[in-house]
Amino acid sequence: MASGNSYWNAALASWFWNPEKACFWLVGSGTPGQVITAAMVEQPDPAAVFACAMSLHDACVGRACSDPSVDISESYNGGDEFLRQMMRVGNLFEEWACEHIAFEELEDVWPYLLEDRFGAACLEVMDAGSFGMFDRDDCLRVAYGLRLPIRVDVRCRDCRRRF
Ligand SMILES: [Zn+2]
């Protein structure tokens, strides 16, 4: 995992200011300088939440199988709390994504993309036993790792705090 500074420097290098919309834009997979136009207000999709939770669950269990230092049950005080945290992360990420992902720029079907790649991307930013601490800043880190098209909107409290 990159240090905080180099992570944010890399992220900022990909962002540019769009004065018409008073937004920063990050287009991970698009042409540099591309402006995303339509900013639709999306509603959280239960299929996407579930895809996140399942993908992360499978990734954490897989990590625990290959790394003896990872103890899911101990880290989460049991399997019920582990599953509860997987769902919390799924809900949090989908809620954040509806505010910050330019879905119209995606080529993949959103829940399928999450099912295939979300869990592995999460393990790039956090240990398998630590998802009880996953927060909105981590959503940005995961989205950046997935090279998703991200809107950074100054109307959002987190984005204002960050930028
Ligand atoms: Zn924001």
Residue 26 to residues 21, 35, 117, Cα–Cα distance (Å): 14, 9, 20
CA 154 to ligand 1 center in whole angstroms: 7
Q: What span, in angstroms and rounded, lies between the C-alpha atoms of 99 and 56?
A: 21
Q: What span, in angstroms and rounded, lies between the C-alpha atoms of 142 and 46?
A: 19
Q: Residue 97 above 80 pLDDT?
A: yes
What percentage of the chain exceeds 70 in pLDDT? 72
| Predicted local confidence at residue 123, as pLDDT | 98
Burial of 77 (0-12, 13-18, 19+ CB in 10 A): exposed
Q: What span, in angstroms and rounded, lies between the C-alpha atoms of 135 and 132?
A: 9
pLDDT per residue as tens digits for the range 26-81 = 544 444 444 443 445 578 999 999 999 999 999 999 999 999 999 999 999 999 99
CA 50 to ligand 1 center in whole angstroms: 22
What pLDDT band is residue 16 in, cutting at 50, 70 and 90?
Answer: very low
CA 148 to ligand 1 center in whole angstroms: 14
Task: Output the six-digit token pair for 45.
Answer: 């999709």
| Predicted local confidence at residue 104, as pLDDT | 85
Q: What span, in angstroms and rounded, lies between the C-alpha atoms of 14 and 109?
A: 24
Question: Contact 36/105 with Cβ under 8 angstroms?
Answer: yes
CA-based nearest residue to 156, from 90, 114, 110, 98: 98
Residue 107 to residues 89, 104, 113, 118, 147, Cα–Cα distance (Å): 24, 8, 9, 16, 12
CA 30 to ligand 1 center in whole angstroms: 20
Q: Residue 150 above 70 pLDDT?
A: yes
Q: Report the predicted TM-score, pTM, of the whole model to 2 decimal places.
A: 0.75
Beta-carbon neighbours within 5 Å of ion ligand 1: 156, 158-159
What pLDDT band is residue 157 in, cutting at 50, 70 and 90?
Answer: confident
Helix (H) or strand (E) holding 150: strand 150-153
Task: Output the six-digit token pair for 160.
Answer: 């204002």
Task: Output the six-digit token pair for 14.
Answer: 């990909």
Task: Output the six-digit token pair for 144.
Answer: 């950046």
Domain ranges of the chain: 4-162
